[in-house]
């Protein structure tokens, strides 16, 4: 088989066999196909697309390109969760302890933030002492012992995606639905869970800007998972405004701890999404028979304190100290409303970029983040505000850093004379009927 022939085949709209896709992935991962030829093939895919069966085979070949986790020794049905990313999305930190506290094992491997979006690992690392780089053996041992872990993907998992994603980034070939779906699902397949809950976000702060694009991605990822024998459901959720009241690593961890301790006081959109994702996961795992039972179980795990206890166990198992104070920022500056009105929107992408400039995120992979930096909202979409009322507090290492983004944060708020209805963040759930 020759790579040149495969490039030409895809250029001309042909359909690859499973064997051809395995050859492409294996030889590229080994370094036997050069970047310039793989780039040409990727661009041909961007233009010509991949059929369903090509996408399933590509994903399988990528998933098998390195180590895979074998979770078969765990009790029950382990569940994995994936979010396509957003601003203020800390749901994983709440959902994992809720599931594990009810006996559903979760070996959760997460990523870091880049640009306007945050990453679960960065949030978790703001807890003093927490270690996120676990070996495959440590992951298994911890999930056996306490039912869950929250850690980084090891470098030996899906090396094909690591290489391909970097190449796509440098060759304007990220924007291809089958390539995105294969990239995400190859990592989920390699993590070994038989049941997977996907949170596919849409809106200004999300990777997918429209609900139609999010639905298409969710549908394809669900079909890939099923083709590989996994139970998969996908929640479509809004990422037009930041999720919850906090954006920034330690601030978001504090918000999760508060939500698990007293959900009635938590942001309503955040707690609704945490509850729904947990319910879907409980249903997929077979722990409950209906979504309503799943939601009730999630409520019970929080109300009894079991989810908080599980959070503490996860932190301790990974070397952290759950009672230590989280890092706090020396500079804290409030921004206020210039006029009376109702908040009708908060631009998630603008807030994510402002939080990044405060130090909470990275402009490039190499940037260091400030765990204490970020933004707390005192008002949310739908609230009435009077002139001079505090909208948000900005946290950073210096006051000048907060001043540099004040205007951007104020401009991210949209106001009107009339209130707009409060929207649920949950738009739809796919895959529960199978």
Dist CA 69 CA 196 (whole Å): 14
Active site residue 82: yes
265: which residues sit within 8 A by CB, 6+ positions away? 258
322: left (phi over 0), alpha (psi -120 to 50) or beta: alpha
User: According to DSSP H, which parts of 228-305 are helical?
Assistant: 249-261, 268-285, 291-303
Footprint of ligand URA (CB under 6 A)? 165, 174, 179-180, 183-184, 207
Active site residue 168: yes
Closer Cβ to ligand URA, 175 or 262, answer by number:
175
Q: For residue 338, give Cα distances in angstroms to 69, 344, 387, 401.
A: 54, 15, 5, 21
CB of residue 92 vs ligand URA: minimum separation in angstroms?
15
| Given the residues 80, 89, 161, 347, the one annotated as active site | 161
Dist CA 137 CA 159 (whole Å): 18
Closer Cβ to ligand URA, 183 or 278, answer by number:
183
CB of residue 115 vs ligand URA: minimum separation in angstroms?
12
88: which residues sit within 8 A by CB, 6+ positions away? 118, 242, 243, 244, 246, 247, 252, 270, 348, 351
With b for 16 or more beta-carbon neighbours within 10 A and e for fewer, the 120-139 pattern comes to bbbbbbbbbebebebebebb
DSSP character string of 356-391: IIIIIS-SSTT----TT-EEEESS-TT-EE-TT-EE
Closer Cβ to ligand URA, 180 or 253, answer by number:
180
Residue at token pair 């070939």: 173
CB of residue 358 vs ligand URA: minimum separation in angstroms?
24
| Given the residues 83, 183, 186, 271, the one annotated as active site | 183
| Given the residues 22, 82, 201, 269, the one annotated as active site | 82
CB of residue 181 vs ligand URA: minimum separation in angstroms?
8
- Closest residue to ligand URA, judged by C-beta, is 183
Active site residue 9: no
Active site residue 237: no
| Given the residues 123, 168, 245, 275, the one annotated as active site | 168
CB of residue 39 vs ligand URA: minimum separation in angstroms?
15
CB of residue 247 vs ligand URA: minimum separation in angstroms?
20
Closer Cβ to ligand URA, 184 or 381, answer by number:
184
Closer Cβ to ligand URA, 6 or 164, answer by number:
164
| Given the residues 187, 287, 310, 357, the one annotated as active site | 187
Closer Cβ to ligand URA, 245 or 362, answer by number:
362
**Sign of torsion over alpha carbons 27, 32, 36, 40:** negative
Active site residues: 82, 161, 168, 183, 187
């Amino acid at each position: 088989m020759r790579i040149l022939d495969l490039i030409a085949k895809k250029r001309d709209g042909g359909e690859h066999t499973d064997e051809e896709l395995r050859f492409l992935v294996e030889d590229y991962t080994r370094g036997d196909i050069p970047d310039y030829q793989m780039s040409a093939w990727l661009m041909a895919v961007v233009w010509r697309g991949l059929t369903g069966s090509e996408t399933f085979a590509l994903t399988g070949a990528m998933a098998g390109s390195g180590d895979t986790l074998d979770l078969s020794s765990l009790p029950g049905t382990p569940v994995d969760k994936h979010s396509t990313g957003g601003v203020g999305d800390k749901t994983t930190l709440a959902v994992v302890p809720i599931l594990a506290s009810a006996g559903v094992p979760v070996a959760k491997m997460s990523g870091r933030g880049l640009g306007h979006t945050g990453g679960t690992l960065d949030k978790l690392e703001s807890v003093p002492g927490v270690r996120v780089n676990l070996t495959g053996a440590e992951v298994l041992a911890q999930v056996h012992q306490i039912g869950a872990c929250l850690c980084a993907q090891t470098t030996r998992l899906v090396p094909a995606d690591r290489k391909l994603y970097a190449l796509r980034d440098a060759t304007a070939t990220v924007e291809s639905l089958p390539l995105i779906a294969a990239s995400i699902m190859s990592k989920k397949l390699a993590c070994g869970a038989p049941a997977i809950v996907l949170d596919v976000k849409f809106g200004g702060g999300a990777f997918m800007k429209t609900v139609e694009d999010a639905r298409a991605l969710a549908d394809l990822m669900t079909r890939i998972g099923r083709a590989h024998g996994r139970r998969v459901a996908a929640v479509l959720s809004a990422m037009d405004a930041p999720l919850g009241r906090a954006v920034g690593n330690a601030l978001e961890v504090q918000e999760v701890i508060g939500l698990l301790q007293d959900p009635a006081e938590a942001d309503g959109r955040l707690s609704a999404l945490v509850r729904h994702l947990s319910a879907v996961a409980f249903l997929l795992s077979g722990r409950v028979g209906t979504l309503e039972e799943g939601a009730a179980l999630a409520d019970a795990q929080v109300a009894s304190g079991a989810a908080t206890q599980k959070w503490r166990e996860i932190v301790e198992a990974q070397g952290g100290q759950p009672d230590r104070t989280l890092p706090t920022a020396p500079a804290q500056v409030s921004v206020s409303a210039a006029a009376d009105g109702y908040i009708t929107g908060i631009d998630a992408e603008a807030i994510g970029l402002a939080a990044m400039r405060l130090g909470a995120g990275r402009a490039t992979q190499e940037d260091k983040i400030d765990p204490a930096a970020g933004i707390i909202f005192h008002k949310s979409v739908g609230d009435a505000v009077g002139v001079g009322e505090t909208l948000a507090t900005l946290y950073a290492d210096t006051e000048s850093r907060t001043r540099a983004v004040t205007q951007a944060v104020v401009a991210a708020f949209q106001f009107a004379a009339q209130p707009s209805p409060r929207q649920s963040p949950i738009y739809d759930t796919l895959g529960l009927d199978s």
